[in-house]
Amino acid sequence: MAFSPDGETLATGGGDKSARLWDVAGRKTAATLTGHTDSVYKVAFSPDGKLLATGSHDNTARLWDVAGRKTAATLTGNTGYVTSVAFSPDGTTLATSSSDKSVKLWPTR
């Protein structure tokens, strides 16, 4: 799970193949993000909070437009499940690691 940079939104992933955005103040689900075909266990917000990255056991990572609540990109190329996701400090690059023992760098713009 991860808090957005402004602390107003919490992102979670789970075994139901989705990620959820939670309204922290209201303590309720703000959105359910679907599209992965297996469990989602890794989430990270970009430094500006506009993108959410998710990593899944379906061997993909996804970038989500947080405001639009939609997939911005599906990142394929791993042969194992995605074990971590992290944005660069300027938000222009997403790093993913995989159970296939690889690390990949992806442009976010």
User: What's 44's domain CATH number?
Assistant: 2.130.10.10
**Residues with Cβ < 8 Å from 109, sequence gap 6 or more?**
92
CB 80 within 8 A of CB 99: yes
Q: Which domain holds residue 93?
A: 2-107
Domain count for the chain:
1
**pTM, 2 dp:** 0.96
Q: What angle do CA 76, 52, 17 make, to 5 degrees?
A: 60
Would you tell me how many other CB atoms lie within 10 Å of the CB of residue 91? 16
**pLDDT tens digits for 2-49?**
999 999 999 999 999 999 999 999 999 999 999 999 999 999 999 999
Using one digit for the tens of pLDDT, what is the confidence trace for 36-85? 999 999 999 999 999 999 999 999 999 999 999 999 999 999 999 999 99
